[in-house]
Amino acid sequence: MQGMHYEGTIIRPPSEAFSILLQVTVGCSHNKCTFCGTYKDKRFRIKDNETILQDIKFASKYMRNQDRVFLMDGDPLIIPQKRLIWILDKINEYLPWVRRIGIYANAKSIKMKSLEDLIELRKRKLGIIYMGVESGDDVVLKRVRKGVSSKTILEMGKKVMDAGIKLSVTVLLGIGGRERSLIHARKTGELLTEMDPDYVGALTLMLIPGTPLHDDYVHGRFELPSQEKLLIELREMIYYTNLSKGLFFSNHASNYLPLKISYPEGKEEALRVIDKALQGEIPLRPEWMRAL
Domain boundaries, the chain: 14-289
**The amino acid at 64:** R
Which of 201-237 are b and which e, b meaning 16 or more Cβ less than 10 Å from the residue's Cβ?
bbbbbbbeeebbbbebbeeeebebbeeebbbbbbbbb
Q: What does the pLDDT read at residue 134?
A: 95
Q: What does the pLDDT read at residue 231?
A: 94
Q: What does the pLDDT read at residue 257?
A: 87
What DSSP string describes 207-228?
A: PPTTSHHHHHHHTTS--PPPHH
Query: What is the architecture of the domain spanning 14-289?
Result: Alpha-Beta Barrel (3.20)
Q: What does the pLDDT read at residue 292?
A: 60
In this structure, the number of other CB atoms found within 10 A of the CB of residue 4 comes to 17
Positions of the chain with pLDDT lower than 50, given as ranges:
none
